[in-house]
Amino acid sequence: MSPTLRDWLALNALPGLGPVRLAPLMRRWREGGDLAWPQGWLAALPASLAQPLRLWLEHPSRSPITPAVDAAIEWERADPRRHLLHPGHPVWPELLTQLPDPPTVLWAKGELSVLSQPAMAMVGTRRPTREGQDNAVRFARDLVGKGFCIASGMALGIDGAAQRAALQAGGATIGVLGCGVDVIYPPRHAPLFRELLEGAGLLISEHPPETRAHPRFFPRRNRLI
């Protein structure tokens, strides 16, 4: 038996169980060993984590993590262009499993089909020279012409220039955010966010909606890019 979407959301909301502690459990589960859901997971977790998870499994109405699970489900249901991705989802990026700390759940908004395209990451300084920015635009356009999707972080400078060029060339782009997918950051990129969602674009974040940008989130989002 595999965890359902609600199960992954519960694991994601479990206090004290972050990606680093969850990673070895996810590897054992994927390898088809002794980590059947849910009993194998409960046995593998320390008591401080197994107890609240068991409470959620057996008595969800009494669990403090139930509101976070329900809120995520309602968020996805409210708009057909909102998506909750998790291990085992048909379009879950399998390369994420190679990370030492893969995400448990990804919130996504936009055109989900772009995840099936080959992608090239393009990131760079927020203060590029004119030549650097022109090179980013040219690279992005050429890559789109070869069938690549451009993945980047929606930041000022090279990131934004590459993603905007990809869209203007009729291509697709994935914006990986250090905030919730409904938070426009940096604010100056509001037109780019709009253009991305109106075209062949997808926003992805491991943070729930309405999560504000924070400096410590950006190095972590880079591993997803």
Can you list the alpha helix ranges (DSSP code H) found in the chain? 5-13, 19-30, 39-44, 47-58, 66-77, 130-145, 158-168, 190-198, 217-224
CA quadruple 9, 11, 15, 20: dihedral sign: negative
**CA dihedral of residues 91, 92, 94, 100 (deg, nearest 10):** 170
Strand partners of residue 85 = 106
For the stretch 52-87, pLDDT in tens is: 999 999 999 999 999 999 999 999 999 999 999 999
CA–CA gap between residue 84 and residue 72 (Å, rounded): 8
- Phi first, then psi, for residue 216 (nearest 5°) are -75, -15
Kindly tell me if the per-residue pLDDT of 34 is higher than 80.
no
31: three-class secondary structure by DSSP = coil
Mean pLDDT of the chain: 94
Q: State the maximum Cα–Cα separation within the chain, in Å, rounded to a whole number.
A: 60
pLDDT score, position 29:
84
Cis peptide before 38 (omega within 30 of 0): yes
CA–CA gap between residue 47 and residue 30 (Å, rounded): 23
For the stretch 151-190, pLDDT in tens is: 999 999 999 999 999 999 999 999 999 999 999 999 999 9
Q: Which amino acid belongs to residue 5?
A: L
Angle at 47 between CA 85 and CA 45, to 5 degrees: 40
pLDDT score, position 28:
85
CA nearest to 153, candidates 182, 193, 197: 193
Kindly tell me if the per-residue pLDDT of 33 is higher than 70.
no
| 8 Å CB contact between 13 and 65 | yes
Give residue limits of the domains in the chain.
Answer: 5-78, 110-224
CA nearest to 113, candidates 167, 172, 193: 172
Average pLDDT over residues 86-115: 93
pLDDT score, position 2:
82
Q: Could you tell me the pTM of the whole model?
A: 0.94
CATH code of domain 110-224: 3.40.50.450
